[in-house]
Structure 1
Amino acid sequence: MNPPASQYTLQQKVFLFLLAIVTIGFGWILMPYAGAVFWGVVLAILFIPLYRRLLRATGQKANLAALLTLASIVVMVIIPVALISASLVQQAVGIYNMVGSGHIDFGQYFRQIIAVLPDWVVSLLERFDLTSMATLQQKLSSFAAQASQVAAKYTLNLASNTFDFLVSMTIMLYLLFFLLRDGHSLAGRIRTAVPLSRKYKQRLFSNFTTVIRATVKGNVLVAMAQGALGGLIFWILHVQAPLLWAVVMAFLSLLPAIGAAIVWAPVAVYFLVTGAVWQGVVLILFCVFVIGLVDNVLRPILVGKDTKLPDYVVLLSTVGGMALFGLNGFVIGPVVAALFVASWDLFSTAEEFHQE
């Protein structure tokens, strides 16, 4: 049992202060590549069972098992993500060129929808000046100008961004090798250093690894499945750039309640109001009864019911995580929320904190 802070000697207090300063400084140094470190830890936690199986298969050769696990991660995760990203950029550029050449005319789509809407809906839209093509085009032009400025900025920094990405990827893979090989001993040292009793550390570390796996498998993998199914039905129905919309649906599927419907619902409405009734009906039925049920079927299998957060907590933590950490927030937000719930659950069940 550690002594209370009032019983520390001056020498111990100075050392603890120095320890805090050095720790903060080390974290500050790692901050530029915090994303690489974070994903290295996440992938190590996810693939440690594979590493242990390979370790037994290779006769306890740790370096070889770690290299084989690393190669598996590159083949199963990194290469597919790189290929999908390249195809995504290609389709996005294709859509941009088709809009610029007039092959895709959003104004025509807008006029078709307005023409079949009921009079009361048109009147309501007119109150907000949403039926005027001139006003709409002005807003779209303003948005396009801002988007062009942003695109130009990122184009000028493309080489720098690519270099940073390659450096981050190298750091992540390099760190991942050592986390796989030495992760058990490193986790033991961290567990020993944490100033908590054994039973608290055991539950807290167990909750941490469980939450990481639950968040990635329960949110990311389910979102990938929903995005793939959405892209498939878009491809069958000949919707432009199905891969682009599949990726968008995969990201939005991380948000419960609304999720992929933000993408497929407007497309279904467009099909219905423009006379493509069977396409609209097929899209609605597929998305409701197939995509909509993926979460209810896959999440309990991949995660289990014990670590599932309420939908509103997942929604708020995901959006908040995105606002603070960018794309990494899709994982960081729910992980922090789940650890928050686990920590308070640990506190509420600890008898020594509630003695009268």
Structure 2
Amino acid sequence: MQPNFKLDSALSRGLLDVLIKAGLVAALVLFAFEVFQPFLGLMLWAVILAVTLYPLYGRIKGGTGLKDGYAATLVVLLVLVVLLVPIYLVVVSIGESVHSLIDVLKSGAWHVPPPPESVAGWPLVGPHLYALWQSASESLAPVLNNLMPHLKGAGLSVLGAAASAGGAFLLFIGAVIISGVIMAFGERSEVAAQRIAMRVSGEERGRPLAKLCTATIRAVAQGVIGIAFIQMLLIGVGFVVKGVPGAGMLAIVVLMLGIAQAPATLVTIPVILYIFNAEGFTAATIAFAVYTFVAGLADNVLKPLLLGRGVDVPMPVVLIGALGGMVVKGIIGLFIGPVILAVTYVLFWQWVALQVPDKPVEPAP
């Protein structure tokens, strides 16, 4: 039997064409990704903000009758005001505190009290700490001069962290502005997202998956960012009314702890102890302590109510996705993680349902 050389040659040419086309497509995708990569974080934040703020945009547009562009601009301005005003107040407070500290150090009015004799008996660090403390109590200037090289390194680290935070803040401001553009074309964006999801997963599953992604992002925004913001307001108002030093900065720390899913009691309990130590046990301090402690535990009540609301997956899936995503990818992973985990959860159970119908299983005899 003679081999069919023409058929083999045709198959080889067809396979070669497929490989060449696949290689060209892969090269095009890689090049496009390299070009787009510098803007990837910006666009991800813009999409997340647009999805989160779109209900507010719809209410403003419906209530005011403004056109799409004007309504989106109004939402962007509101968000920028909410962001910039607290940050401005915190920066001013930090600047005033630093200026006051510098004035006190220059005037020489601040003195370090002498150390207790028991400090010298501490193991390992006791003698060195006692000598340093004693020297600082006699004259602070030589101690500061000796520590200056270390302080310079710490200062450079702080400046680097501040520059990084400033860059991240500018990135976030740009994302807010771009999210306004996305909201102005919200209906087209929604249709495009559904079409992409249907192209990937089929018409039957694509539309629900697109809605699931949207609902998950909004649930995380309400259940994590929203709860942290509410808790910051509750605790911050109490600090301001009571006149706690650095109340604005402490409120920002509470917000960061809430976003990181850490307990606000890390801030509230030391503040309560400070107030009791400074003012004693009075009716006002006890009322402040009770209010602050309860406000620090408010997330335990709000989280089950808001986190996962409107999402067709269990709340632990969303919470685990938020925590795991934040560990892996930082703050933006707080939103990406739940979306990926929720979609995976739904696809997994859809795959299970294809093989094992959802019906009662007879117990084993």
Q: Same fold (TM over 0.5)?
A: yes
User: What secondary structure is seen at the aligned counterpart in 1 of 2:316?
Assistant: coil
Q: Is the 8 A contact 1:211 1:335 kept in 2?
A: no
Q: Is the 8 A contact 2:198 2:204 kept in 1?
A: no
Which shifted more, 225-234 or 262-271? Answer: 262-271
| Residue identity (%) | 16
* CA–CA distance in structure 2, aligned partners of residues 164 and 288 of structure 1: 34
User: What secondary structure is seen at the aligned counterpart in 1 of 2:67?
Assistant: helix
Which shifted more, 12-21 or 197-206? Answer: 12-21
* CA–CA distance in structure 1, aligned partners of residues 44 and 33 of structure 2: 12
User: What secondary structure is seen at the aligned counterpart in 1 of 2:297?
Assistant: helix
1:39 aligns with 2:45: yes
Going from structure 1 to structure 2, the CA distance change for 1:193 and 1:315 (only over 3 Å counts) comes to closer
* CA–CA distance in structure 1, aligned partners of residues 97 and 16 of structure 2: 67
How far did 1:44 drift? 1.9
One-letter amino acid of the structure 2 residue matched with residue 242 of structure 1: A
Q: Is the 8 A contact 1:66 1:181 kept in 2?
A: no
**Of residues 280, 283, 308 in structure 1, which corresponds to 2:315?**
308
1:292 aligns with 2:297: yes
User: What secondary structure is seen at the aligned counterpart in 2 of 1:253?
Assistant: helix
Q: Is the 8 A contact 1:211 1:339 kept in 2?
A: no
* CA–CA distance in structure 1, aligned partners of residues 167 and 322 of structure 2: 30
User: What secondary structure is seen at the aligned counterpart in 1 of 2:263?
Assistant: coil
How far did 1:217 drift? 1.1
**Structure 1: 5+ residue runs without aligned partners?**
1-7, 116-121
> Which residue number in structure 2 is paired with residue 268 of structure 1?
272
User: What secondary structure is seen at the aligned counterpart in 1 of 2:240?
Assistant: helix
User: What secondary structure is seen at the aligned counterpart in 2 of 1:277?
Assistant: coil
* CA–CA distance in structure 1, aligned partners of residues 126 and 338 of structure 2: 39
> Which residue number in structure 2 is paired with residue 5 of structure 1?
none
Going from structure 1 to structure 2, the CA distance change for 1:153 and 1:312 (only over 3 Å counts) comes to closer
User: What secondary structure is seen at the aligned counterpart in 2 of 1:221?
Assistant: helix
One-letter amino acid of the structure 1 residue matched with residue 275 of structure 2: F
How far did 1:286 drift? 1.6
How far did 1:308 drift? 2.5
1:1-356 maps to which residues of 2 (within 5 A)? 11-12=17-18, 14-52=20-58, 65-102=67-104, 126-127=122-123, 129=125, 132=129, 134=132, 144-152=151-159, 161=167, 165=171, 168-169=174-175, 172-173=178-179, 175-177=181-183, 179-180=185-186, 182-194=188-200, 196-256=201-261, 258-274=262-278, 276-278=280-282, 281-297=286-302, 300-301=305-306, 303-304=308-309, 307-309=314-316, 313=320, 316-317=323-324, 319-321=326-328, 324=329, 329-351=330-352
Q: Deviations over 1:182-237 (max 9, x none)?
A: 2123213322432x233442343222111100111111111011111111111122
> Which residue number in structure 1 is paired with residue 359 of structure 2?
none
* CA–CA distance in structure 2, aligned partners of residues 181 and 130 of structure 1: 68
One-letter amino acid of the structure 2 residue matched with residue 95 of structure 1: S
How far did 1:147 drift? 3.6
Q: Is the 8 A contact 2:227 2:302 kept in 1?
A: no
Please give the root-mean-square deviation of Cα atoms over the aligned residues, in Å.
4.4
Q: Is the 8 A contact 2:50 2:182 kept in 1?
A: yes
Give the length in aligned residue pairs.
Answer: 322
Which shifted more, 303-312 or 237-246? Answer: 303-312
Q: Is the 8 A contact 1:88 1:243 kept in 2?
A: yes
Q: Is the 8 A contact 1:40 1:175 kept in 2?
A: no
Going from structure 1 to structure 2, the CA distance change for 1:65 and 1:316 (only over 3 Å counts) comes to same
How far did 1:150 drift? 3.3
* CA–CA distance in structure 2, aligned partners of residues 13 and 170 of structure 1: 42
One-letter amino acid of the structure 2 residue matched with residue 69 of structure 1: A
* CA–CA distance in structure 1, aligned partners of residues 56 and 180 of structure 2: 18
TM-score, with structure 2 as normaliser: 0.69
State the structure with more CA Rg: 2
How far did 1:285 drift? 1.6
Q: Is the 8 A contact 2:43 2:175 kept in 1?
A: no
How far did 1:351 drift? 3.2
How far did 1:20 drift? 4.0
> Which residue number in structure 1 is paired with residue 3 of structure 2?
none
TM-score, with structure 1 as normaliser: 0.71
